[in-house]
A and B are shown apart, each in its own frame.
Chain A
C-alpha cells in the first residue's frame, strides 16, 4: 500500500519568506509526527498529533513554526519568516496506534533558505 508522502520534496526559499510543507500519512494512522534533520545529525522531534489534536509541540524551535492537522489526516508544517538556520530536511512520520510503536517515515522535504 501507499506509504507516507511529503511535498514538495525540495524547497528553496529566500530569507523572510513563508513556507508550507505537506504530509500525507498512511491512511488510518492515528499518530503523526514532524521531525527536523540537520545535515549529518539524527532527526529531532518537532511536534506530535493524535488524530487532529496537537498533543506535543515542545520541539518547535520558535513561534515561527506552526503545524496543523485539521481533519486528522493530512498535516501541514508552516514556517514563517524563514531564516538560514531553518535549512534542514523536514521528516513526517505516522504510526498506526496512539503509543510506543514503530513509525513510518516519508522521504522528507529538503528546505534550503538563502
Chain B
C-alpha cells in the first residue's frame, strides 16, 4: 500500500506560473524524495531532503519538509511546458532502503 497522499491529484497552470504540490506521509522517515515521470519515460530523481532539513533548493525547485506534520511540499517556479509530467513524493524510513511512493500529482503546464 502507498505511504501517503499527494494533493492536488491534478494541476493545470499557464507557463510562467508557479506550481505547488503537497505530500503527506505516515511513518518516521530518514529522507523524502521527489521524482518526475514523463509519459513514456522512467522516473527521474529531482531532489532529496533529509529528516533533519527543513528546506532545500535546486534550480527552479524548492522543497520543504515538516516532520511534525509529516508533510512536504514541492514548488516549481516559472513553470515551462516541459515541466508537464507526473510528480511523486517517496519516503525512505529509518529502517529500510525501499522507496514508498504516494499516488502522485499530474501537472499540466499550458503554453
Contacts and interface: CB of A to CB of B under 8 A. Distances in A.
Nearest to A6: B42
Contact of A105 (B44, B96, B100): B44
Contacts of A56: 96-98
Chain B, interface size category, equals 20 to 34
A98 B96 CA distance: 10
Contacts of A106: 42
Contacts of B48: 101-102
B42 A45 contact: no
Interface of B: 1-2, 30-31, 33, 35, 41-45, 48, 88, 90, 92, 96-104
Interface of A: 4, 31, 33, 35, 40-45, 48, 50, 55-56, 59, 91, 93, 95, 98-108
